[in-house]
């Protein structure tokens, strides 16, 4: 495995899963990303990323109960794992440290 | 309805299901359906399109279902391991491995011999481009007196003409006639050629390549001759052959074509082809000819080229219609025709009057059956020894099972091992095959130039397939036994794994092997004795010192005076054919009653014939003089002919007149002598009436010389000198009568050689197997023997204990093989031989004796060694 580095999109998906709590399944994730970032992501791309994340051990998945929608097919719900949480924290920490290193001077005039 | 509309087209769903792995399918499909439900609110078309695109886009590595086989890929990973353990185990047990490999190699060399032979036979006539559409008309002839009809490859000109003129539905009708012979000369150069007559369609039907000449007109004119390249070269050296005129006797032929040398795998072989119209011109001039008769089915061949997709049954229908009309005109015989496709000509059903070489399926089946005998015997060896030694491999199997190998995997491992052995064997057997090939070609095929048995690359494929097959056959039983072992019982107490089933199975296999060996030895003994019996059979006349010289259409009067001068020659006679060499001539003969005719074997002989062959006269004597011109007047008949026409005693027949049926004028012959019954046809058929008719010069084909000389070679040289003064074209041909008889019974000699050879192989394989088993038994019972020895058992005692089991098996196989081979040869092979040996105890016991001797020597060698061993060495470690 390439190590535990998170790609940019992977991080977004992981964050979305964390934020959606127990409602995180593929279609929901796509919608959520679209509503927050405005990116029109394709379902296939999200699926591939979910698959990769699961392989890396950042998320776990389970099939939910069948519902009337989707022709009675079950949804696959994703949960963030401990490793996932650690990876997110690490990523945030790295960014925070980078932010804190930036003198306020740099952003003058933008806010 | 509205709900239904929310479902995407079924085929798209199906597409997804096709590739998507099961555990991903459900939620993936669910997601897509959810999207679809959203999109359909906008536009149905757009929703469908998106769905389809998504289905295609989801086709990624991680979603694709792994083919089932990939789940079993472990086998391939394990193959390396299997290979290693197999080679190690083979190397560890050098004796057993070499027995297995050698035995399989010997038997497989016979197997690949058969494969090469049969594949060569099957390649016959495959080079004709229109081959699938070529058919040959074949005949079945049944005379009123015989209960069965016989099949012929030949047919009548009548049927060919009839089909050509009155029926349609063929592209071409080709007429051929065999036995074109001529001595053609160009200037000084004369060569004899043989071939066929063929009508002009020949090159349209068959794909023989003309190097010169026009294929569609080469055979259309009378007196046109087509030569093969080889023949043309012989006659014209380097000069252009086409257009040349060659002379044969009083006729001259124009060379209208030169055909490239013929492929050896063609059932039609010739040196020259003569146009069929030459024959037709010759015969249409004569009114008495039988050439165009319905019943002249002995010399001609009709080949049909049918249009694409034509139904041969339609032709068979025509042939049946013609036969019905024509057979109605006579009550003496029935002739029926049917067509056979080119592919079924070599090998064919059993047919007489073949135009060229052929082999019947029956002969092939016999060879294959005998081969299988030997191969199966070698497979038994493998099975036997492997099961015997499986105890040693039991621990390995146990470990594998504990680690997680399933029954299938263990099974695969041991089959794989057997395949390795058989692959090694097939390589060795190829060497053996090269050794036995010349003998096979010489003995069985009789050095027929057409069968070459050359190696072709496709054969390599057959050989490997054959090796795989043999590996599986040989390995299947031991593999099952080993796969069935239970890990727990192996480890608890290895000695408790008794393989009881395998033990009795092994015994059965050994018994079968020895039964086979005994059977084959008995077979070869019987074939040999029958062959000798045929050679020494009392034929009713003498063949000793009789030398037959083929006249080859020369005038006997030119040769006789010169030959008579030779001091070595005491008597000379002339005859048409040579009895008891497989050749028969017959005529229809009547006595007083014009309606009572009999088919009688005949020979045309001169007055000295009876003294050169020392016939015994019961009444009368030989002809008073030889008829040098005109027609025959006298006949000498045998006892059976008298019986056939109800004469009371030989004396009363003298002076009576019998009639030989002839087309124009019947031949009236006075009986001048009666000889005792003698053997005219080959000895397995019943003696039949024979008439020895006074010959005229045209009837004579052979000179029979009674020769007394110590130096045959010098004598032959003298004869050849005389011959070459008379005939410069044909080589001198002379054979001693006994040699000719030997040749006539060659089929039995071949049978004996094949049986003998196979018996030799079978017994070597069986002996190797027995040796392996004896080694194994003595090894595993080493401790028991030592203990017995310490307690005071004598060497003799020990050997008896060790050999007992084997001796019992040998006895059982003898008890099975003797009655079996008696029944087989007595009731099947020789059932319809009239004159034959009686199968007695000598023939039957010969096989048993040989097998017992070899078997007991083998066992004795091993058990003796074990019994002699010092018990201290064996028991020291205990």
In this complex, the residue of A27, A48, A73 whose CB is nearest that of residue B35 is A27
Identify all chain B residues contacting A70, using CB atoms and an 8 Å cutoff: 29-31, 33-34, 37
Question: How many residue pairs bridge chain A and chain B with CB atoms within 8 Å of each other?
Answer: 48
In this complex, the residue of B30, B54, B62 whose CB is nearest that of residue A73 is B30
Rounded Cα–Cα distance for residues B835 and B290 (Å): 37
pLDDT at A111: 62
Identify all chain A residues contacting B57, using CB atoms and an 8 Å cutoff: 42, 44
Is pLDDT above 70 for B445? no
What is the 8-class DSSP label of residue B344? G
- Which residues pair with residue B302 across a beta bridge? B137, B175
Q: Is B141 helix (H, G, I), strand (E, B) or coil?
A: strand
pLDDT at B2: 42
Cβ contact, residue pair B35, A43, below 8 Å = yes
CA dihedral B142, B148, B149, B151 (to 10 degrees): -160
Positive or negative CA dihedral for B401, B403, B408, B412? negative
What is the 8-class DSSP label of residue B827? I
- CB distance B351 to B153 below 8 Å: yes
Is pLDDT above 90 for B302? yes
Tokens of A21: 């709590």
Is pLDDT above 70 for A1? no
B438 touches chain A (CB under 8 A): no
Cβ contact, residue pair A71, B7, below 8 Å = yes
Identify all chain A residues contacting B29, using CB atoms and an 8 Å cutoff: 70, 73
pLDDT tens, position by position, B766-775: 888 888 888 8
pLDDT at A2: 47
Q: How far is A95 from chain B (nearest CA, A)?
A: 32
pLDDT at B61: 76
pLDDT at B1: 37
Confidence bin at B227 (pLDDT 50/70/90)? very high
Identify all chain A residues contacting B27, using CB atoms and an 8 Å cutoff: 25-26, 63, 73-76
In this complex, the residue of A27, A47, A74 whose CB is nearest that of residue B26 is A74
Taking phi first (over 0 means left), then psi (-120 to 50 degrees means alpha), and beta for anything else, what does residue B671 get?
beta
Q: Is B197 helix (H, G, I), strand (E, B) or coil?
A: strand
B11 touches chain A (CB under 8 A): no
Cβ contact, residue pair B27, A27, below 8 Å = no
Confidence bin at B429 (pLDDT 50/70/90)? very high
Q: How far is B18 from chain A (nearest CA, A)?
A: 17
Q: How far is B11 from chain A (nearest CA, A)?
A: 16
Strands B667-675 and B657-660: antiparallel
What separation, in Å, do the N-terminal and C-terminal C-alpha atoms of chain A show?
Answer: 41
In this complex, the residue of B7, B27, B34 whose CB is nearest that of residue A76 is B27
Confidence bin at B663 (pLDDT 50/70/90)? low
pLDDT at B319: 92
Identify all chain A residues contacting B28, using CB atoms and an 8 Å cutoff: 47
Cβ contact, residue pair A44, B60, below 8 Å = yes
- Residues 6 or more apart whose CB falls under 8 angstroms from that of B284 comprise none
Positive or negative CA dihedral for B781, B783, B784, B786? positive
pLDDT tens, position by position, B39-94: 888 888 888 888 888 888 888 777 777 665 555 556 677 788 888 888 888 888 88
Confidence bin at B867 (pLDDT 50/70/90)? confident
Identify all chain B residues contacting A28, using CB atoms and an 8 Å cutoff: none
Identify all chain A residues contacting B63, using CB atoms and an 8 Å cutoff: 47
Average pLDDT taken over every residue of chain B? 84
pLDDT at B426: 93
Identify all chain B residues contacting A73, using CB atoms and an 8 Å cutoff: 26-27, 29-30, 33
Identify the closest residue of chain B to A74 by CA–CA distance.
B27
Is pLDDT above 80 for B419? yes
- CB distance B155 to B137 below 8 Å: yes
* Matching residue, tokens 């401990």: A82
Rounded Cα–Cα distance for residues B186 and B354 (Å): 32
Q: What fold is seen in the domain A8-99? A: Arc Repressor Mutant, subunit A (1.10.10)
Is pLDDT above 90 for B535? no
For an interface test with B, give the residue of A23, A47, A72 to mutate (most B CBs within 10 A): A47
Out of A93-102, B155-164, B481-490, B563-572, least confident range: B481-490
Q: How far is A82 from chain B (nearest CA, A)?
A: 24
Which residues 41-80 of A have a C-beta within 8 angstroms of B?
A: 42-44, 47-48, 51, 63, 69-71, 73-76
pLDDT tens, position by position, B194-223: 899 999 999 999 999 889 888 888 999 999
Neighbours of B162 (CB within 10 A): 19
A34 touches chain B (CB under 8 A): no
Radius of gyration (C-alpha) of chain B in whole angstroms: 38
pLDDT tens, position by position, B577-613: 888 877 777 788 888 887 777 878 889 999 999 999 9
What ipTM describes this predicted complex?
0.84
Cβ contact, residue pair B27, A74, below 8 Å = yes
pTM over 0.90: no
Tokens of B657: 């007149």
Q: Is B129 helix (H, G, I), strand (E, B) or coil?
A: coil
Q: What is the 3-state secondary structure (H, E, C) of B66-97?
A: CCHHHHCCHHHHHHHHHHHHHHHHHHHCHHHH
pLDDT at B495: 57
In this complex, the residue of A27, A48, A63 whose CB is nearest that of residue B31 is A27
């Amino acid at each position: 495995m390439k190590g535990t580095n998170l790609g940019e999109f992977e991080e977004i998906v992981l964050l979305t899963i964390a934020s959606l709590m127990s409602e995180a399944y593929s279609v929901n994730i796509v919608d959520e990303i679209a509503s927050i970032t405005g990116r029109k992501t394709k379902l296939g791309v999200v699926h591939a990323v979910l698959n990769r994340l699961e392989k890396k051990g950042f998320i776990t998945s389970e099939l939910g109960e069948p519902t009337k929608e989707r022709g009675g097919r079950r949804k696959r719900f994703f949960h963030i794992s401990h490793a996932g949480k650690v990876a997110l924290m690490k990523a945030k920490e790295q960014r925070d440290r980078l932010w804190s290193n930036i003198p306020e001077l740099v952003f003058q005039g933008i806010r | 309805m509205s709900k239904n509309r929310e479902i995407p087209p079924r085929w798209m769903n199906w597409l997804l299901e096709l590739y998507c792995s099961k555990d991903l399918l459900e939620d993936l499909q669910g997601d897509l359906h959810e999207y679809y439900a959203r999109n359909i609110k906008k536009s149905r078309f757009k929703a469908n399109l998106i769905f389809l695109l998504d289905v295609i886009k989801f086709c990624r590595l991680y979603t694709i279902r792994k083919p089932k086989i990939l789940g079993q890929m472990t086998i391939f990973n394990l193959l390396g391991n299997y290979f290693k353990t197999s080679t190690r185990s083979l190397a560890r047990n050098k004796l057993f491995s070499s027995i297995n490999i050698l035995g399989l190699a010997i038997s497989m060399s016979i197997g690949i011999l058969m494969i090469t032979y049969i594949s060569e036979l099957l390649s016959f006539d495959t080079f004709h481009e229109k081959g699938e559409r070529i058919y040959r008309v074949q005949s079945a002839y049944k005379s009123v007196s015989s209960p069965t009809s016989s099949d012929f490859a030949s047919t009548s000109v009548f049927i060919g003409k009839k089909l050509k003129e009155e029926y349609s539905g063929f592209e071409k009708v080709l007429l051929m006639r065999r036995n074109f012979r001529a001595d053609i000369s160009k200037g000084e150069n004369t060569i004899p050629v043989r071939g066929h007559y063929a009508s002009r369609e020949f090159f349209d039907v068959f794909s023989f390549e003309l190097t010169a000449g026009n294929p569609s007109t080469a055979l259309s004119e009378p007196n046109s001759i087509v030569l093969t390249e080889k023949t043309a070269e012989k006659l014209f050296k380097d000069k252009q052959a086409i257009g040349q005129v060659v002379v044969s006797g009083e006729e001259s032929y124009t060379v209208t074509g030169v055909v490239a040398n013929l492929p050896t795998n063609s059932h039609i072989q010739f040196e020259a082809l003569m146009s069929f119209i030459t024959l037709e011109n010759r015969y249409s001039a004569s009114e008495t000819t039988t050439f165009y008769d319905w019943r002249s089915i002995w010399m001609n061949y009709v080949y049909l080229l049918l249009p694409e997709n034509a139904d041969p049954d339609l032709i068979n229908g025509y042939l049946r219609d013609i036969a019905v009309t024509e057979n109605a005109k006579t009550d003496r015989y029935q002739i029926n025709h049917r067509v056979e496709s080119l592919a079924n000509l070599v090998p064919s059903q059993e047919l007489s009057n073949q135009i060229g070489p052929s082999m019947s399926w029956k002969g092939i089946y016999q060879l294959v059956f005998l081969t299988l005998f030997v191969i199966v015997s070698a497979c038994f060896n493998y099975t036997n020894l492997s099961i015997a030694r499986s105890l040693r491999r039991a621990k390995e199997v146990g470990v594998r099972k504990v680690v997680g190998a399933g029954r299938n995997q263990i099974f695969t491992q041991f089959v794989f091992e057997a395949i390795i052995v058989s692959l090694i064997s097939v390589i060795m057997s190829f060497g053996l095959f090269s050794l036995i090939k010349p003998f096979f070609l010489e003995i069985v095929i009789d050095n027929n130039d057409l069968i070459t048995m050359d190696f072709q690359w496709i054969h390599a494929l057959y050989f490997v397939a054959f090796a795989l097959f043999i590996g599986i056959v040989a390995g299947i039983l031991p593999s099952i036994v080993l796969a069935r072992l239970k890990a727990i019982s192996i480890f608890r107490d290895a000695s408790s794994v008794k393989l009881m089933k395998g033990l009795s199975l092994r015994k059965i296999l050994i018994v079968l092997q020895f039964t086979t060996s005994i059977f084959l030895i008995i077979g070869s003994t019987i074939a040999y004795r029958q062959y000798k019996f045929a050679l020494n059979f009392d034929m009713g006349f003498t063949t000793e010192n009789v030398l037959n010289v083929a006249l080859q259409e020369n005038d006997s009067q030119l040769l006789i005076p010169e030959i008579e001068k030779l001091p070595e020659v005491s008597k000379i006679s002339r005859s048409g054919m040579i009895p008891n060499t497989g050749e028969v001539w017959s005529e229809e003969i009547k006595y007083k009653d014009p309606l009572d005719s009999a088919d009688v074997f005949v020979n045309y002989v001169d007055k000295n014939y009876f003294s050169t062959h020392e016939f015994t006269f019961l009444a009368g004597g030989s002809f008073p003089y030889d008829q040098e011109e005109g027609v025959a007047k006298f006949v000498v008949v045998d006892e059976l002919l008298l019986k056939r026409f109800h004469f009371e005693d030989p004396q009363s027949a003298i002076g009576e007149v019998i009639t030989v049926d002839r087309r124009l004028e019947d031949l009236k012959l006075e009986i001048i002598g009666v000889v005792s019954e003698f053997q005219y046809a080959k000895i397995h058929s019943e003696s039949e009436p024979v008439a020895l008719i006074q010959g005229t010069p045209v009837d004579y084909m052979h000179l029979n010389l009674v020769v007394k000389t110590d130096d045959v070679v010098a004598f032959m040289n003298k004869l050849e000198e005389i011959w070459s003064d008379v005939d410069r074209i044909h080589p001198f041909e002379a054979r001693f009568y006994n040699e000719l008889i030997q040749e006539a019974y060659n089929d039995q000699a071949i049978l004996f050689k094949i049986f003998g050879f196979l018996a030799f192989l079978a017994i070597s394989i069986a002996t190797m197997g027995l040796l392996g088993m004896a080694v194994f038994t003595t090894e595993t019972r080493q401790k028991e023997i030592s203990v017995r020895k310490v307690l005071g058992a004598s060497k003799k005692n020990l050997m008896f204990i060790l050999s007992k089991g084997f001796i019992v098996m040998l006895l059982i196989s003898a008890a099975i093989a003797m009655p079996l081979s008696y029944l087989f040869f007595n009731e099947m092979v020789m059932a319809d031989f009239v004159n034959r040996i009686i199968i007695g105890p000598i023939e039957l016991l010969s096989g048993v004796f040989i097998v017992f001797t070899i078997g007991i020597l083998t066992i004795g060698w091993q058990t003796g060694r074990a019994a002699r061993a010092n018990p201290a060495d064996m028991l020291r470690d205990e």
